[in-house]
Chain A
Amino acid sequence: MAARLVVSRWAAAPVAARAGPLVTCRRWSGAAADTVYDVVVSGGGLVGAAMACALGYDIHFRDKKILLIEAGPKKVLEKLSETYSNRVSSISPGSATLLSSFGAWDHICNMRYRAFRRMQVWDACSEALIMFDKDNLDDMGYIVENDVIMHALTKQLEAVSDRVTVLYRSKAVSYTWPCPFLMADSSPWVQITLGDGSTLQTKLLIGADGHNSGVRQAAGIPNVSWNYDQSAVVATLHLSEATENNVAWQRFLPSGPIALLPLSDTLSSLVWSTSHEHAAELVRMDEEQFVDAVNSAFWSDANHTDFVDSAGSLLQHALALLRPTKVSARQLPPSVARVDAKSRVLFPLGWGHAAEYVRPRVALIGDAAHRVHPLAGQGVNMGFGDISSLAHHLSSAAFNGRDLGSMSHLTGYETERQRHNTALLAATDLLKRLYSTRATPLVLLRTWGLQATNAVSPLKGQIMAFASK
């Protein structure tokens, strides 16, 4: 009997939609030289190294092979230097929990960090301010130097070197993606070619290589991005007098926000986002002028207008009638005496968001997936949040014996993080634009908005909770 068959050649639409450009699939030669890794993390920065740690210490990954590829050299820190580094990060409690889950937080505690308990954010164009703090004055967050975090992560990676291999001074130059369907000879794994010509294969490639991610570009994932017309100047500042220094200060100037983050009783770190020209000028000018510029940026009321001031105090009185107990008087940050020599550096700012965080056998985390303005101190925290989510999904996938590169759990990670990150990215961009103007209507709007938000404690609590995750 001849069975009449209807054979329609069809490509699975959902897969094809995700597959992107089909690159030539590599023929599987069964070469023993190519180790098949379970997970390869491309990029050994804060987020990449933390991802490798999180997987290396995961109980369900004991049997798996993990590789971390880092283009730079291994940074060995024999002794903590006396001078503080000028690149610091604000670590939220959620990120601290992640770091302590694989033991890195203990190393950080043994080195140095600074907890802050309060945050004051205020406008340069009006009296409006918002003050964040936790109920019992618990730690809101921690200011830690990036070098310290990196060193802690490196130490923890060394401790699990049987499961996690780290390749320093290696850069991935090209990637070959697997075909969507299992063809006769093609390898189902992602193939990575390194700068020295060697190749390796992996079941899952995690891209943690920064906002110019090579993994993202090679996978053809569309990325929405723009450059801000701002650069950030960072420096380490010495305060005039020793204080308790557990408050983080941020003032929105029309040219951009300036922030003072506590490092120790006498030291604070500066992050000043301003126009490119002004940033270059700040880095060039001599120390005294720089210190004066910083102090005046925090203290000067030159941008106030009477109109906005009176409108602001009107709302303030109204709020005081409704909630007579709460009084937030504007406090002034500590004055700055001098700046550490050679600690002034600038870097450009931008915004970016990848349209997809995952493809079959590929996932993006950290700045490769999203890039944000430092005004909210959320950049690295979003990256650590990505790590928590992805490590959790991969861990349960491993315990269920699933193929690690399978889209079913990768899309779970993507959904979870896109929801969180999109809101935060939109809010940060909105704030940046809202506070970049001197136009009276917008100043009035933001003044009243800030005052109202400051008065509503549950709302402030929600904002803090969202940012602490």
Chain B
Amino acid sequence: MSGGHKLSCSGIRFLGVLGSVCREAPAHRLRLTGAVNQPDWTLQIKPWIFNKYRTIWSRSYGVTFSCLNRIKRPPWMRLYSTSQTTIDSSEVKTFQALAHKWWDEQGVYAPLHSMNDLRVPFIRDNLLKAVDDHQPGKPLSGMKILDVGCGGGLLAEPLGRLGASVIGIDPVDENIKTAHHHKSFDPVLDKRLEYRACSLEEIAEETIETFDAVIASEVVEHVIDLETFIQCCCQVLKPGGSLFITTINKTQLSYALGIVFSEQIAGIVPKGTHTWEKFVSPEKLESILESNGLSLQTVAGMLYNPFSGYWHWSENTSLNYAAHAVKSMVQEHPGPAEFVIKEDTEELQANTSPSLGMPEELKK
């Protein structure tokens, strides 16, 4: 796909917030045996496991490649339906069998399961900072959380067990089915969790300013239009609500390990699966967040040890990192006036929002 590939605005809004996009031609991608996105634990170096990744990820992300070829498709048609022409039904069946792998803790998704050891305390502790007291046993009770790209519900379930009401959305129907099926056995979780196969766009219209927290874990590096995605996240957040993102940094190291090593040398990931250009650096993320009225509170690096299978917090954010941002309390156009230390003076001048008129806010 050349750089001049520019989708229409509506196309972006519908398609861009979901799925992964590769710079290369989707047809080329799909030709690869089960073209896959390397899952974001880039140091996964067990090739024999990778075979299992392929069909799963082709399902979630191969689907959206085809979307780009059909920009004029009506927005209300779900992505899933367009896949019929490009995805083999045998592939669908195979994926259905493999969709169960979400919940196999020693299986292909083991790194995502173990990432919960970092993600859940990160989310829980940052949310608890905002409240004065909480119920022991159900610390997050009363909170409404949106999990964008929830997959099989790996992150939604722990948050549900901590008392939160979670809505999980994912573009892929099978994932939602698996997630729904898994939570159905636990009467407590069944009540607290809700899953929908839809896009962030679709849910954003119905749920403006309803969520205490939005989580986009291992998602933003696959989104076409990060700006719009963040905008939608901000839309559904209550003022003062939190946005949690975990993603991969765009550095030489992530290129070396994530692209060169994984894809070209070790052959763990087929060439072109990850697009280094789509990785997001914390600085870029911060500027997009600020321009949408979210202030970045924390950035922390995460490192995966493929031998032990555990993640660790790290000072180094050059590979994976987690970010926590908070939506401003001001209701109107989010202006950069709130977030002083920023240097985007041209935005300051361009913004004619009345909120700018308060000089003391500039000092914050």
Q: Report the minimum CB–CB distance from B150 to chain A (whole Å).
A: 15
Q: Which residue of A lies closest to B98 (CB)?
A: A7
**Does A226 count as interface, using CB distance less than 8 angstroms?**
no
Q: Which residue of A lies closest to B33 (CB)?
A: A4
**Does A134 count as interface, using CB distance less than 8 angstroms?**
no
- 18 CB contacts below 8 A, A to B, read A2-B88, A5-B54, A5-B90, A7-B55, A61-B137, A62-B137, A63-B135, A63-B137, A182-B100, A182-B104, A182-B182, A183-B100, A400-B120, A401-B116, A402-B120, A407-B105, A408-B113, A408-B114
**Residues 133-174 (chain B) with a chain A CB within 8 angstroms:** 135-139, 157-163
**Does B300 count as interface, using CB distance less than 8 angstroms?**
no
**Does B252 count as interface, using CB distance less than 8 angstroms?**
no
Q: Report the minimum CB–CB distance from A362 to chain B (whole Å).
A: 15
> Is there contact, CB below 8 Å, between B120 and A1?
no
Task: Please name all residues of chain B whose beta carbon is closer than 8 Å to the beta carbon of A30 when the two chains form the complex.
Answer: 184
**A interface majority secondary structure:** loop
> Is there contact, CB below 8 Å, between B30 and A3?
yes
**Does B261 count as interface, using CB distance less than 8 angstroms?**
no
Q: Report the minimum CB–CB distance from A186 to chain B (whole Å).
A: 9
Q: Report the minimum CB–CB distance from A179 to chain B (whole Å).
A: 11
**B interface majority secondary structure:** helix
Among B52, B58, B138, B185, contact of A3 (Cβ-Cβ < 8 Å): B58
> Is there contact, CB below 8 Å, between B185 and A187?
yes
Contact with B along A1-26 (1 / 0, CB 8 A): 11111111010101100000000000
**Does B34 count as interface, using CB distance less than 8 angstroms?**
yes
Q: Report the minimum CB–CB distance from B285 to chain A (whole Å).
A: 26
Q: Report the minimum CB–CB distance from A415 to chain B (whole Å).
A: 13
Q: Which residue of A lies closest to B32 (CB)?
A: A3
Measured in the bound complex, the distance between the Cα atoms of B73 and A157 in whole Å is 63
> Is there contact, CB below 8 Å, between B34 and A401?
no
Among B27, B100, B107, B158, contact of A402 (Cβ-Cβ < 8 Å): B158
> Is there contact, CB below 8 Å, between A181 and B100?
yes
**Residues 52-97 (chain B) with a chain A CB within 8 angstroms:** 52, 54-55, 58, 86-88, 90-91, 94, 97
Q: Which residue of B lies closest to A17 (CB)?
A: B106
> Is there contact, CB below 8 Å, between B138 and A62?
yes
> Is there contact, CB below 8 Å, between A59 and B30?
no
Measured in the bound complex, the distance between the Cα atoms of B114 and A407 in whole Å is 12
**Does A466 count as interface, using CB distance less than 8 angstroms?**
no
Q: Report the minimum CB–CB distance from A404 to chain B (whole Å).
A: 9
Measured in the bound complex, the distance between the Cα atoms of B34 and A247 in whole Å is 74
**Does A468 count as interface, using CB distance less than 8 angstroms?**
no
**Residues 106-141 (chain B) with a chain A CB within 8 angstroms:** 106-107, 113-114, 116-117, 120-121, 124, 135-139
Q: Which residue of B lies closest to A404 (CB)?
A: B161
Contact with B along A178-206 (1 / 0, CB 8 A): 00111100011100000000000001000
**Residues 118-167 (chain A) with a chain B CB within 8 angstroms:** none
Task: Please name all residues of chain A whose beta carbon is closer than 8 Å to the beta carbon of B58 when the two chains form the complex.
Answer: 3
Residue pairs across A and B with CB atoms within 8 Å: the count is 102
**Does B31 count as interface, using CB distance less than 8 angstroms?**
yes
**Does B186 count as interface, using CB distance less than 8 angstroms?**
yes
Task: Please name all residues of chain A whose beta carbon is closer than 8 Å to the beta carbon of B186 when the two chains form the complex.
Answer: 36, 203
Task: Please name all residues of chain B whose beta carbon is closer than 8 Å to the beta carbon of A36 when the two chains form the complex.
Answer: 185-187
Measured in the bound complex, the distance between the Cα atoms of B97 and A10 in whole Å is 12
> Is there contact, CB below 8 Å, between A406 and B105?
yes
Measured in the bound complex, the distance between the Cα atoms of B139 and A7 in whole Å is 42
Among A60, A61, A181, A189, contact of B104 (Cβ-Cβ < 8 Å): A181
With A5-B54, A182-B103 as known contacts, state yes or no: A401 contacts B86, CB within 8 Å.
no
**Does B51 count as interface, using CB distance less than 8 angstroms?**
yes
Measured in the bound complex, the distance between the Cα atoms of B337 and A133 in whole Å is 70
With A2-B88, A5-B33, A189-B185 as known contacts, state yes or no: A59 contacts B136, CB within 8 Å.
yes
The 8 closest A-B CB pairs, nearest first, are A62-B137, A401-B158, A63-B137, A401-B161, A401-B162, A59-B136, A12-B106, A14-B106
Q: Report the minimum CB–CB distance from A392 to chain B (whole Å).
A: 16
With A59-B137, A60-B136, A64-B137 as known contacts, state yes or no: A5 contacts B55, CB within 8 Å.
yes
> Is there contact, CB below 8 Å, between B103 and A8?
no
Measured in the bound complex, the distance between the Cα atoms of B182 and A188 in whole Å is 9
> Is there contact, CB below 8 Å, between A1 and B182?
no
**Does B342 count as interface, using CB distance less than 8 angstroms?**
no
Measured in the bound complex, the distance between the Cα atoms of B124 and A292 in whole Å is 67
Kindly name the residue among A30, A62, A63 whose own CB sees the greatest number of chain B CB atoms within 10 A: A63
**Does A347 count as interface, using CB distance less than 8 angstroms?**
no
> Is there contact, CB below 8 Å, between B137 and A1?
no
Among B30, B100, B116, B135, contact of A400 (Cβ-Cβ < 8 Å): B116
Measured in the bound complex, the distance between the Cα atoms of B106 and A28 in whole Å is 24
Measured in the bound complex, the distance between the Cα atoms of B106 and A15 in whole Å is 7
> Is there contact, CB below 8 Å, between A1 and B100?
no
Q: Report the minimum CB–CB distance from B162 to chain A (whole Å).
A: 4
Q: Report the minimum CB–CB distance from A28 to chain B (whole Å).
A: 6
